Structure 1
Amino acid sequence: MADITWSAFDKIINSFNISLDEEKLDKLVKYHKLLISERQRLNLYSLKDNERLIKYHFVDSVVVTKLLPENKIIADLGSGAGFPGIIIKIFRPDLKVYLIESKHKKAVFLEKVILELGLDDCIVLNKRFEEITNIKFDIVVSRLVAPLKKTLKWIMGLDTLKPDMLILYKKTKVIERELKESEKLIKKVGYQPKDVVKFRYEHIRLVRSLLILEKTEEIL
Protein backbone atom coordinates (compact mmCIF):
# COMPACT_ATOMS: atom_id res chain seq x y z
CA MET A 1 0.00 0.00 0.00
CA ALA A 2 1.14 3.52 -0.76
CA ASP A 3 2.05 6.02 1.92
CA ILE A 4 -0.45 8.63 3.09
CA THR A 5 -0.66 12.23 1.90
CA TRP A 6 0.50 15.21 3.95
CA SER A 7 -3.13 16.19 4.34
CA ALA A 8 -3.88 12.79 5.89
CA PHE A 9 -0.81 13.14 8.12
CA ASP A 10 -2.10 16.52 9.31
CA LYS A 11 -5.47 15.00 10.15
CA ILE A 12 -3.90 12.10 12.06
CA ILE A 13 -1.62 14.22 14.23
CA ASN A 14 -4.47 16.66 14.84
CA SER A 15 -6.29 13.77 16.49
CA PHE A 16 -3.44 13.83 19.04
CA ASN A 17 -3.76 17.63 19.41
CA ILE A 18 -0.54 18.26 17.48
CA SER A 19 -0.65 21.04 14.89
CA LEU A 20 1.13 21.30 11.54
CA ASP A 21 1.95 24.72 10.09
CA GLU A 22 3.56 25.65 6.76
CA GLU A 23 7.07 25.95 8.21
CA LYS A 24 6.93 22.49 9.78
CA LEU A 25 5.43 21.01 6.62
CA ASP A 26 8.20 22.52 4.48
CA LYS A 27 10.84 20.91 6.70
CA LEU A 28 9.04 17.57 6.70
CA VAL A 29 8.82 17.54 2.90
CA LYS A 30 12.55 18.30 2.59
CA TYR A 31 13.39 15.62 5.15
CA HIS A 32 11.20 13.08 3.36
CA LYS A 33 12.94 13.79 0.04
CA LEU A 34 16.38 13.38 1.65
CA LEU A 35 15.34 10.06 3.15
CA ILE A 36 14.11 8.74 -0.19
CA SER A 37 17.15 9.94 -2.14
CA GLU A 38 19.76 8.64 0.34
CA ARG A 39 18.08 5.43 1.53
CA GLN A 40 19.86 2.90 -0.66
CA ARG A 41 23.31 4.49 -0.65
CA LEU A 42 23.46 4.80 3.12
CA ASN A 43 21.23 1.84 4.04
CA LEU A 44 19.08 4.15 6.15
CA TYR A 45 16.08 1.84 6.36
CA SER A 46 14.50 -1.10 4.53
CA LEU A 47 12.96 -0.69 1.07
CA LYS A 48 9.48 -1.56 2.34
CA ASP A 49 9.61 1.47 4.64
CA ASN A 50 9.55 3.77 1.59
CA GLU A 51 5.81 3.18 1.53
CA ARG A 52 5.27 3.94 5.21
CA LEU A 53 7.67 6.75 6.05
CA ILE A 54 4.88 9.22 6.76
CA LYS A 55 2.11 6.98 8.06
CA TYR A 56 4.38 5.00 10.39
CA HIS A 57 7.78 6.61 11.08
CA PHE A 58 6.70 10.26 10.97
CA VAL A 59 3.48 9.72 12.94
CA ASP A 60 5.25 7.48 15.45
CA SER A 61 8.01 10.04 15.93
CA VAL A 62 5.80 13.08 16.44
CA VAL A 63 3.63 11.77 19.29
CA VAL A 64 6.46 11.94 21.83
CA THR A 65 6.58 15.74 21.43
CA LYS A 66 3.44 15.91 23.60
CA LEU A 67 5.36 14.43 26.53
CA LEU A 68 8.40 16.72 26.51
CA PRO A 69 8.55 19.77 28.83
CA GLU A 70 9.68 23.10 27.38
CA ASN A 71 13.29 24.19 26.93
CA LYS A 72 14.91 20.88 27.86
CA ILE A 73 18.01 19.10 26.56
CA ILE A 74 16.95 15.94 24.75
CA ALA A 75 19.04 13.00 23.55
CA ASP A 76 17.78 10.69 20.81
CA LEU A 77 19.61 7.45 21.59
CA GLY A 78 20.29 5.45 18.42
CA SER A 79 18.91 8.10 16.08
CA GLY A 80 19.54 6.14 12.87
CA ALA A 81 17.80 7.97 10.03
CA GLY A 82 16.55 10.61 12.49
CA PHE A 83 13.50 8.97 14.07
CA PRO A 84 12.35 10.46 16.33
CA GLY A 85 15.05 13.13 16.90
CA ILE A 86 14.69 15.12 13.67
CA ILE A 87 10.90 15.08 13.94
CA ILE A 88 11.12 16.20 17.57
CA LYS A 89 13.28 19.16 16.57
CA ILE A 90 10.96 20.16 13.71
CA PHE A 91 7.91 20.22 15.96
CA ARG A 92 9.62 21.47 19.12
CA PRO A 93 12.19 24.14 18.20
CA ASP A 94 12.38 25.15 21.88
CA LEU A 95 14.27 21.94 22.67
CA LYS A 96 18.00 21.36 22.29
CA VAL A 97 18.30 17.96 20.62
CA TYR A 98 21.32 15.68 20.45
CA LEU A 99 21.19 12.90 17.86
CA ILE A 100 23.35 10.03 19.09
CA GLU A 101 24.35 7.69 16.24
CA SER A 102 27.41 5.43 16.30
CA LYS A 103 27.39 4.58 12.57
CA HIS A 104 29.42 7.15 10.64
CA LYS A 105 27.39 7.13 7.40
CA LYS A 106 24.14 7.72 9.24
CA ALA A 107 25.73 10.45 11.36
CA VAL A 108 26.87 12.23 8.18
CA PHE A 109 23.33 11.96 6.81
CA LEU A 110 21.92 13.51 9.98
CA GLU A 111 24.38 16.41 9.67
CA LYS A 112 23.16 16.95 6.11
CA VAL A 113 19.52 16.98 7.23
CA ILE A 114 20.26 19.53 9.97
CA LEU A 115 22.05 21.79 7.48
CA GLU A 116 19.43 21.59 4.72
CA LEU A 117 16.49 22.03 7.09
CA GLY A 118 18.20 24.83 9.01
CA LEU A 119 17.69 23.23 12.41
CA ASP A 120 19.27 25.23 15.24
CA ASP A 121 20.42 23.58 18.48
CA CYS A 122 20.36 20.14 16.87
CA ILE A 123 23.69 18.35 17.27
CA VAL A 124 24.93 14.99 15.99
CA LEU A 125 27.16 12.91 18.25
CA ASN A 126 28.86 10.18 16.22
CA LYS A 127 29.60 8.08 19.29
CA ARG A 128 28.37 5.14 21.27
CA PHE A 129 26.13 6.28 24.11
CA GLU A 130 28.50 5.04 26.81
CA GLU A 131 31.31 7.17 25.34
CA ILE A 132 29.47 10.41 26.14
CA THR A 133 30.84 11.59 29.47
CA ASN A 134 30.53 15.37 29.43
CA ILE A 135 26.90 16.22 28.62
CA LYS A 136 23.96 16.20 31.03
CA PHE A 137 20.74 15.38 29.18
CA ASP A 138 17.40 16.21 30.78
CA ILE A 139 15.59 13.47 28.89
CA VAL A 140 16.74 10.51 26.82
CA VAL A 141 14.33 9.25 24.16
CA SER A 142 14.93 5.96 22.39
CA ARG A 143 12.74 4.40 19.72
CA LEU A 144 12.87 0.61 19.47
CA VAL A 145 16.67 0.50 19.77
CA ALA A 146 17.29 -2.08 22.51
CA PRO A 147 15.57 -4.08 25.26
CA LEU A 148 14.98 -2.23 28.53
CA LYS A 149 17.78 -4.07 30.36
CA LYS A 150 20.37 -3.10 27.77
CA THR A 151 19.25 0.53 27.74
CA LEU A 152 19.49 0.69 31.54
CA LYS A 153 23.03 -0.69 31.46
CA TRP A 154 24.01 2.09 29.04
CA ILE A 155 22.43 4.65 31.38
CA MET A 156 24.25 3.16 34.37
CA GLY A 157 27.59 4.11 32.83
CA LEU A 158 26.69 7.82 32.89
CA ASP A 159 27.12 7.98 36.69
CA THR A 160 26.41 11.58 37.82
CA LEU A 161 25.22 12.56 34.33
CA LYS A 162 22.15 10.33 34.35
CA PRO A 163 19.15 12.01 32.68
CA ASP A 164 16.15 13.00 34.78
CA MET A 165 13.80 11.01 32.58
CA LEU A 166 13.81 8.18 30.04
CA ILE A 167 11.10 7.86 27.39
CA LEU A 168 11.36 4.53 25.62
CA TYR A 169 9.29 3.44 22.62
CA LYS A 170 8.13 -0.13 23.14
CA LYS A 171 5.95 -2.69 21.45
CA THR A 172 2.87 -2.89 23.65
CA LYS A 173 3.09 -6.66 24.03
CA VAL A 174 6.56 -6.57 25.65
CA ILE A 175 6.07 -3.76 28.18
CA GLU A 176 4.93 -5.85 31.16
CA ARG A 177 7.53 -8.57 30.58
CA GLU A 178 10.43 -6.13 30.23
CA LEU A 179 9.37 -4.19 33.33
CA LYS A 180 9.16 -7.39 35.37
CA GLU A 181 12.53 -8.66 34.12
CA SER A 182 14.19 -5.30 34.82
CA GLU A 183 12.51 -4.41 38.12
CA LYS A 184 15.66 -4.72 40.26
CA LEU A 185 17.91 -3.10 37.67
CA ILE A 186 15.58 -0.11 37.33
CA LYS A 187 15.96 0.55 41.08
CA LYS A 188 19.70 -0.12 41.02
CA VAL A 189 20.27 2.42 38.25
CA GLY A 190 18.18 4.94 40.19
CA TYR A 191 14.86 5.12 38.35
CA GLN A 192 11.23 4.26 38.85
CA PRO A 193 8.42 3.67 36.34
CA LYS A 194 6.28 6.79 36.05
CA ASP A 195 3.81 5.96 33.30
CA VAL A 196 3.08 4.01 30.15
CA VAL A 197 1.45 6.29 27.58
CA LYS A 198 -0.33 4.58 24.71
CA PHE A 199 -1.09 6.02 21.29
CA ARG A 200 -3.51 4.22 19.00
CA TYR A 201 -2.79 4.56 15.27
CA GLU A 202 -6.11 3.56 13.74
CA HIS A 203 -4.87 4.10 10.17
CA ILE A 204 -2.29 1.28 10.51
CA ARG A 205 -3.96 -0.68 13.32
CA LEU A 206 -1.11 -0.26 15.76
CA VAL A 207 -0.91 0.70 19.42
CA ARG A 208 2.38 2.28 20.46
CA SER A 209 3.46 2.30 24.10
CA LEU A 210 5.89 4.87 25.48
CA LEU A 211 7.45 3.80 28.77
CA ILE A 212 8.43 6.72 31.01
CA LEU A 213 11.00 6.23 33.77
CA GLU A 214 11.96 9.04 36.13
CA LYS A 215 15.09 9.38 38.22
CA THR A 216 14.80 8.88 41.98
CA GLU A 217 16.94 10.47 44.66
CA GLU A 218 17.97 7.14 46.16
CA ILE A 219 20.21 4.76 44.20
CA LEU A 220 20.34 1.23 45.60
Structure 2
Amino acid sequence: MDERGDVSDVDPSPPPSAATVFGDRLDLAVRYRDMLATAGIERGLIGPREVPRLWDRHIVNCAVLGEAIAESSSVVDIGSGAGLPGIPLAIARPDLTVTLVEPLLRRATFLEEAIADLGIDVRVIRGRAEEKAVRSAIDPADVVTSRAVAPLERLAGWSTPLIRVGGRLVAIKGSSAQDEIERDRVSAAKVGLAELSVVVCGEEVLEVPTTLIVGVKQAGFELKSRRKRGGTAGVAATSDTSDKKFRR
Protein backbone atom coordinates (compact mmCIF):
# COMPACT_ATOMS: atom_id res chain seq x y z
CA MET A 1 0.00 0.00 0.00
CA ASP A 2 1.54 3.36 -1.03
CA GLU A 3 1.10 6.80 0.54
CA ARG A 4 -2.00 7.44 -1.59
CA GLY A 5 -3.76 4.46 -0.05
CA ASP A 6 -3.38 2.01 -2.96
CA VAL A 7 -4.49 -1.34 -1.54
CA SER A 8 -4.29 -3.40 -4.73
CA ASP A 9 -1.35 -5.42 -3.38
CA VAL A 10 -3.00 -6.26 -0.05
CA ASP A 11 -3.71 -9.96 0.39
CA PRO A 12 -7.46 -10.27 1.06
CA SER A 13 -7.27 -13.92 2.08
CA PRO A 14 -8.84 -14.67 5.47
CA PRO A 15 -6.38 -15.68 8.21
CA PRO A 16 -6.77 -18.91 10.21
CA SER A 17 -8.41 -16.89 12.99
CA ALA A 18 -11.28 -15.97 10.65
CA ALA A 19 -11.83 -19.58 9.64
CA THR A 20 -11.96 -20.57 13.30
CA VAL A 21 -14.41 -17.85 14.31
CA PHE A 22 -16.76 -17.90 11.29
CA GLY A 23 -16.67 -21.62 10.41
CA ASP A 24 -19.02 -22.50 7.56
CA ARG A 25 -20.07 -18.84 7.27
CA LEU A 26 -16.56 -17.68 6.36
CA ASP A 27 -17.69 -16.86 2.83
CA LEU A 28 -20.04 -14.21 4.25
CA ALA A 29 -17.22 -12.70 6.29
CA VAL A 30 -15.05 -12.59 3.16
CA ARG A 31 -17.78 -10.75 1.24
CA TYR A 32 -18.19 -8.27 4.09
CA ARG A 33 -14.44 -7.68 4.20
CA ASP A 34 -14.46 -6.98 0.47
CA MET A 35 -17.30 -4.44 0.93
CA LEU A 36 -15.32 -2.62 3.60
CA ALA A 37 -12.19 -2.61 1.41
CA THR A 38 -14.08 -1.10 -1.56
CA ALA A 39 -17.34 0.71 -0.86
CA GLY A 40 -16.32 1.27 2.76
CA ILE A 41 -13.28 3.27 1.65
CA GLU A 42 -15.09 5.05 -1.19
CA ARG A 43 -17.77 6.29 1.23
CA GLY A 44 -15.32 7.28 3.93
CA LEU A 45 -16.37 4.60 6.42
CA ILE A 46 -12.95 2.95 6.60
CA GLY A 47 -9.58 4.61 6.18
CA PRO A 48 -7.41 3.15 3.38
CA ARG A 49 -4.63 2.37 5.82
CA GLU A 50 -6.96 0.05 7.72
CA VAL A 51 -7.35 -2.36 4.80
CA PRO A 52 -4.35 -4.58 5.68
CA ARG A 53 -5.77 -4.83 9.22
CA LEU A 54 -9.42 -5.44 8.37
CA TRP A 55 -9.40 -9.08 9.41
CA ASP A 56 -7.67 -9.07 12.78
CA ARG A 57 -8.23 -5.50 13.96
CA HIS A 58 -11.81 -5.08 12.80
CA ILE A 59 -13.73 -8.14 11.62
CA VAL A 60 -12.42 -11.00 13.78
CA ASN A 61 -11.79 -8.56 16.63
CA CYS A 62 -15.52 -7.78 16.63
CA ALA A 63 -16.81 -11.29 15.94
CA VAL A 64 -15.13 -12.77 19.05
CA LEU A 65 -17.46 -10.56 21.07
CA GLY A 66 -19.83 -13.51 20.76
CA GLU A 67 -17.85 -15.31 23.47
CA ALA A 68 -19.44 -12.94 25.97
CA ILE A 69 -23.02 -13.26 24.68
CA ALA A 70 -25.47 -16.03 25.56
CA GLU A 71 -27.25 -18.12 22.95
CA SER A 72 -30.29 -16.60 21.20
CA SER A 73 -29.76 -13.18 22.76
CA SER A 74 -31.16 -9.97 21.32
CA VAL A 75 -28.35 -7.51 20.59
CA VAL A 76 -28.43 -3.79 19.81
CA ASP A 77 -25.26 -2.26 18.35
CA ILE A 78 -25.29 1.52 18.84
CA GLY A 79 -23.27 3.88 16.65
CA SER A 80 -22.71 0.96 14.30
CA GLY A 81 -20.81 2.93 11.66
CA ALA A 82 -19.67 0.48 9.00
CA GLY A 83 -21.33 -2.35 10.91
CA LEU A 84 -18.70 -2.98 13.56
CA PRO A 85 -19.24 -4.94 15.73
CA GLY A 86 -22.82 -5.82 14.74
CA ILE A 87 -22.33 -7.36 11.29
CA PRO A 88 -19.35 -9.63 12.12
CA LEU A 89 -21.23 -10.70 15.24
CA ALA A 90 -24.36 -11.53 13.22
CA ILE A 91 -22.31 -13.52 10.71
CA ALA A 92 -20.50 -15.52 13.37
CA ARG A 93 -23.60 -16.00 15.55
CA PRO A 94 -26.75 -16.47 13.42
CA ASP A 95 -28.64 -17.43 16.58
CA LEU A 96 -28.54 -13.79 17.71
CA THR A 97 -31.16 -11.16 16.88
CA VAL A 98 -29.13 -8.10 15.89
CA THR A 99 -30.23 -4.48 15.46
CA LEU A 100 -27.86 -1.78 14.24
CA VAL A 101 -28.43 1.84 15.32
CA GLU A 102 -26.64 4.47 13.22
CA PRO A 103 -27.52 8.18 12.85
CA LEU A 104 -25.71 9.09 9.61
CA LEU A 105 -27.55 8.47 6.34
CA ARG A 106 -24.53 7.39 4.29
CA ARG A 107 -23.56 4.85 6.94
CA ALA A 108 -27.11 3.58 7.41
CA THR A 109 -27.42 3.19 3.64
CA PHE A 110 -24.20 1.18 3.51
CA LEU A 111 -25.47 -1.04 6.32
CA GLU A 112 -28.76 -1.73 4.51
CA GLU A 113 -26.91 -2.58 1.31
CA ALA A 114 -24.40 -4.83 3.09
CA ILE A 115 -27.15 -6.71 4.92
CA ALA A 116 -29.11 -7.24 1.71
CA ASP A 117 -26.02 -8.45 -0.15
CA LEU A 118 -25.04 -10.84 2.62
CA GLY A 119 -28.58 -12.09 3.09
CA ILE A 120 -28.39 -11.88 6.88
CA ASP A 121 -31.36 -11.12 9.12
CA VAL A 122 -30.26 -7.84 10.70
CA ARG A 123 -32.33 -4.71 11.32
CA VAL A 124 -31.08 -1.15 10.82
CA ILE A 125 -32.53 1.85 12.64
CA ARG A 126 -31.34 5.29 11.63
CA GLY A 127 -31.00 7.54 14.65
CA ARG A 128 -29.10 8.11 17.87
CA ALA A 129 -29.42 5.77 20.81
CA GLU A 130 -30.44 8.62 23.10
CA GLU A 131 -33.36 9.71 20.92
CA LYS A 132 -36.85 8.96 22.18
CA ALA A 133 -37.95 7.66 18.77
CA VAL A 134 -35.12 5.13 18.67
CA ARG A 135 -35.83 3.92 22.20
CA SER A 136 -39.51 3.52 21.33
CA ALA A 137 -38.65 1.45 18.25
CA ILE A 138 -36.50 -1.08 20.13
CA ASP A 139 -37.64 -3.64 22.69
CA PRO A 140 -35.30 -3.79 25.70
CA ALA A 141 -32.39 -5.97 24.59
CA ASP A 142 -30.41 -8.70 26.30
CA VAL A 143 -27.19 -6.97 25.21
CA VAL A 144 -26.27 -3.50 23.98
CA THR A 145 -22.86 -3.29 22.39
CA SER A 146 -20.68 -0.65 20.74
CA ARG A 147 -17.15 0.08 19.63
CA ALA A 148 -15.27 3.39 19.89
CA VAL A 149 -18.46 5.37 20.51
CA ALA A 150 -17.84 7.32 23.73
CA PRO A 151 -16.30 7.17 27.22
CA LEU A 152 -18.11 4.89 29.65
CA GLU A 153 -19.96 7.72 31.44
CA ARG A 154 -21.78 8.80 28.26
CA LEU A 155 -22.00 5.31 26.84
CA ALA A 156 -23.82 4.08 29.95
CA GLY A 157 -26.35 6.92 29.68
CA TRP A 158 -27.09 6.13 26.04
CA SER A 159 -27.06 2.34 26.31
CA THR A 160 -28.75 1.50 29.61
CA PRO A 161 -32.29 2.58 28.60
CA LEU A 162 -32.08 0.09 25.71
CA ILE A 163 -31.15 -2.85 27.97
CA ARG A 164 -33.66 -5.07 29.76
CA VAL A 165 -33.33 -5.42 33.52
CA GLY A 166 -30.65 -8.05 34.09
CA GLY A 167 -29.32 -7.54 30.56
CA ARG A 168 -25.82 -6.31 29.86
CA LEU A 169 -23.72 -3.64 28.30
CA VAL A 170 -20.91 -5.35 26.36
CA ALA A 171 -18.69 -2.60 24.93
CA ILE A 172 -15.45 -3.05 23.03
CA LYS A 173 -12.74 -0.98 24.66
CA GLY A 174 -8.95 -0.80 24.72
CA SER A 175 -6.23 -1.08 27.30
CA SER A 176 -7.74 1.73 29.36
CA ALA A 177 -10.91 -0.27 30.14
CA GLN A 178 -10.18 -0.71 33.85
CA ASP A 179 -9.29 2.95 34.20
CA GLU A 180 -12.63 3.90 32.61
CA ILE A 181 -14.47 1.70 35.07
CA GLU A 182 -12.73 3.28 38.04
CA ARG A 183 -13.34 6.79 36.72
CA ASP A 184 -16.97 6.35 35.66
CA ARG A 185 -18.32 3.68 38.02
CA VAL A 186 -20.43 6.15 40.04
CA SER A 187 -21.85 7.85 36.94
CA ALA A 188 -22.78 4.51 35.43
CA ALA A 189 -24.50 3.42 38.64
CA LYS A 190 -26.64 6.57 38.58
CA VAL A 191 -28.22 5.46 35.29
CA GLY A 192 -28.71 1.86 36.42
CA LEU A 193 -25.53 0.13 35.22
CA ALA A 194 -23.50 -1.76 37.80
CA GLU A 195 -21.36 -4.90 38.29
CA LEU A 196 -18.80 -3.43 35.91
CA SER A 197 -15.88 -5.62 34.89
CA VAL A 198 -13.25 -6.10 32.21
CA VAL A 199 -13.62 -9.20 30.03
CA VAL A 200 -11.16 -10.40 27.38
CA CYS A 201 -12.30 -12.35 24.29
CA GLY A 202 -10.48 -14.06 21.44
CA GLU A 203 -7.38 -15.01 23.37
CA GLU A 204 -7.08 -18.29 21.46
CA VAL A 205 -7.35 -16.78 17.98
CA LEU A 206 -6.07 -13.18 18.12
CA GLU A 207 -2.57 -11.91 18.76
CA VAL A 208 -4.18 -8.91 20.47
CA PRO A 209 -7.40 -10.11 22.15
CA THR A 210 -10.52 -7.97 22.33
CA THR A 211 -11.04 -6.11 25.60
CA LEU A 212 -14.59 -5.43 26.79
CA ILE A 213 -16.29 -3.49 29.52
CA VAL A 214 -19.30 -5.46 30.75
CA GLY A 215 -22.01 -4.11 33.04
CA VAL A 216 -25.45 -5.27 34.20
CA LYS A 217 -28.70 -3.27 34.04
CA GLN A 218 -30.10 -3.07 37.57
CA ALA A 219 -33.69 -3.72 38.62
CA GLY A 220 -35.72 -0.81 40.00
CA PHE A 221 -34.09 1.87 37.89
CA GLU A 222 -37.19 2.50 35.77
CA LEU A 223 -39.34 2.74 38.91
CA LYS A 224 -37.05 5.36 40.43
CA SER A 225 -37.09 7.28 37.17
CA ARG A 226 -40.90 7.36 37.09
CA ARG A 227 -41.04 8.82 40.60
CA LYS A 228 -38.34 11.36 39.87
CA ARG A 229 -39.62 12.43 36.45
CA GLY A 230 -43.34 12.31 37.07
CA GLY A 231 -44.08 9.21 35.04
CA THR A 232 -41.28 9.16 32.47
CA ALA A 233 -39.12 6.06 32.60
CA GLY A 234 -35.52 5.82 31.50
CA VAL A 235 -32.73 8.34 31.15
CA ALA A 236 -32.90 11.57 29.21
CA ALA A 237 -29.47 11.93 27.59
CA THR A 238 -28.38 15.51 27.06
CA SER A 239 -24.98 14.82 25.52
CA ASP A 240 -24.62 15.77 21.85
CA THR A 241 -23.07 12.94 19.85
CA SER A 242 -22.51 15.03 16.76
CA ASP A 243 -18.86 15.45 17.75
CA LYS A 244 -18.04 11.75 17.34
CA LYS A 245 -14.92 11.50 15.20
CA PHE A 246 -14.28 7.79 15.39
CA ARG A 247 -14.07 6.08 12.01
CA ARG A 248 -14.98 2.40 11.95
TM-score range, shorter chain: 0.7 to 0.9
Say if 2:158 is the partner of 1:154.
Answer: yes
* Percent of aligned pairs with the same amino acid: 32
- Please name the residue that 1:20 is paired with: 23
- SS, match of residue 144 in structure 2: strand
- Structure 1's 40 and 4: CA in aligned 2 closer, same or farther, altered over 3 A? closer
User: Equivalent residue of 1:145, what SS?
Assistant: coil
**Change in 2 beyond 3 A, CA 1:168/1:103:** same
How far apart, in 2, do the equivalents of 1:75 and 1:99 lie? 6
Equivalent residue for 1:71?
A: 72
Maintained 8 Å contact 1:4/1:55: no
Amino acid paired to 2:84: F
RMSD: 2.3
2:146 matched to which residue of 1? 142
Q: Distance in 2 between matches of 1:28 and 1:19?
A: 7
| Cα separation, 2, equivalents of 1:215 and 1:138 | 10
**Which sections of structure 1, spanning at least 5 residues, go unmatched?**
none
- Residue in 2 aligned with 1:85? 86
**2:14 corresponds to:** 6
Provide, for residues 82-132 of structure 1, a one-character-per-residue CA deviation record: whole Å limited to 9, x for no partner.
111001111111111011111110100000011011012x10111011121
* TM-aligned CA deviation for residue 201 of structure 1: 6.2
Question: Which 4+ stretches in 1 moved above 6 angstroms?
Answer: 200-204
**Is the CA contact 2:163–2:169 (under 8 Å) kept in the aligned structure 1?**
no
TM-score, normalised to structure 2's length? 0.76
Aligned length: 208
Tell whether the 8 Å contact from 2:151 to 2:180 is kept in structure 1 after alignment: yes
- Partner-residue secondary structure (3-state), 2:81: coil
Are the aligned partners of 2:28 and 2:118 in contact in 1 as well (CA < 8 Å)? Answer: yes
Partner-residue secondary structure (3-state), 2:23: coil
Larger of the two Rg values belongs to structure = 2
**TM-score between the two structures when normalised by the length of structure 1:** 0.85
Cα distance, 1:133 vs structure 2:
2.2
How far is the alpha carbon of 1:10 from its aligned partner? Answer: 3.8
Q: For 2:188 and 2:60, locate their aligned partners in 1 and report how far apart those are by CA, in whole Å.
A: 29
Q: Does 1:126 align with 2:132?
A: no
1:211 equivalent in alignment to 2:219 = no
CA contact (8 A) 1:101 1:107 kept: yes
The CA deviation at 1:149 is 0.8
Q: Which of 193-202 and 138-147 deviates more?
A: 193-202
Flag structure 2 segments of 5+ consecutive residues without an equivalent.
Answer: 2-9, 225-248
